Structures are given as structure tokens and as C-alpha cells.
Amino acid sequence: MKVQFELNGRLVSATHLPGTTLMEFLRGEEFYSVKHGCDHGECGACTVLMDSRSVNACLILMHTVNGRKIETLESFSTHERLHPLQENFLKEGAAQCGFCTPGMILSLEALDRESGEIDEVQVRDALNGNLCRCTGYVKPVKAALSTLKASRKTGNHEDEGGDS
């Protein structure tokens, strides 16, 4: 089976076997920020953005990505520059083993794109599907709030294409 979709800003054509998930495809293409966790939509380790919404890539069959826009964490930073959420996760010590961190960053990015004002309840809700055994969420929530509130103060939120 063949699909065409946008992956991290590039148009790609992919041939895949029926039943292949987006997680399997992306890891096969060496997008290792997409972690293979539970494989059942329960841990959030495989989170990617599909049309700017966070989804569990282990639950997405490849034939459904035709014409969609997929983003993985690989598109968020360069060797010279981290995404502001990554910078603040580092600053706050919010990543310990780091297995869950890519998924958390993408869930928070989806929240950033879809929301106007941000509060702690929204941040905790956005992280609801991203299981972390290490941090207890206090530091990720702190890092997220400082990043998302700062982007709203400086106006970067609108510049980045936010809805509000």
C-alpha cells in the first residue's frame, strides 16, 4: 500500500504493509523520538502531531495518514537551537530518564497551538496521556507553564501560528 503525506515539512511517499502503524513506520525511518512503549495507546511515549493535534502513533494505521501533516520532535530543534519547551525542560530538570519527554513536549506543543490563555489545569490535562514514572509531573508542569506563559507575553505565540 502507498501513501503520501507531509512529514516534518517534507512531502514523503511511503509504501507499507497493511496493518503497519505510524509508530512502526517512523521508527523504521529512524525517527527515534517516537518511542515504542505500550503499543496500546496507554503510555503516550509514541506521541506525534497529526494536523497539529497530538495522537498516539501506535494507534494510527499508515493508510490513514494519506494527505495528513505529521510532525515528530526531530523537527522542533536544530543542533544550534532547542525548542523553548525543551530549553525549559532542561532548565527545570524536568526530564529524568527522558523516555516520556518527547511525547510530553508534543502534547504541550499541541496545547500551545490550540489554546489562548494557559493555566495549570490545562497543562496537567494536556499531559494526562503521557505517563512518566520519574518526575511526578511537578517539574514538567513548571517548565510548561513558564514556556507557554512567556510565549504569550512576548507575542511569540501568535507569531508561531497560534489560534488566538
**Cβ nearer to ligand FES, comparing 5 with 89:** 89
Name which position in 14, 22, 37, 139 contacts ligand FES (CB under 6 A). 37
- Binding mask 122-161 vs ligand FES (x if CB under 6 A, - otherwise)? ----------xxxx--------------------------
Distance of alpha carbon 68 from alpha carbon 108, whole angstroms: 20
How far is C-alpha 62 from the geometric centre of its chain's CA atoms?
Answer: 18
Name which position in 19, 32, 53, 97 contacts ligand FES (CB under 6 A). 97
Q: Using the rule CB under 6 A, give the single segment among 34-42, 65-73, 76-84, 119-127 that binds ligand FES.
A: 34-42
- 122: amino acid identity, one letter: Q
**Cβ nearer to ligand FES, comparing 14 with 48:** 48
Residue 110 as a binder of ligand FES (CB under 6 A): the answer is: no
Torsion of CA 70, 76, 79, 80, to 10 degrees: 150
Taking CA 155 as the corner, what is the angle to CA 148 and CA 93, rounded to the nearest 5 degrees? 25
- Helix axes of 101-114 and 84-92: crossing angle, nearest 10 degrees: 130
- 94: amino acid identity, one letter: A
Q: Which three cell numbers stand for residue 138?
A: 511537578
Q: Which of residues 43-62 bind ligand FES (CB under 6 A)?
A: 43-46, 56, 58
Binding residues for ligand FES, rule: CB under 6 A, are 36-39, 41-46, 56, 58, 95-101, 132-135
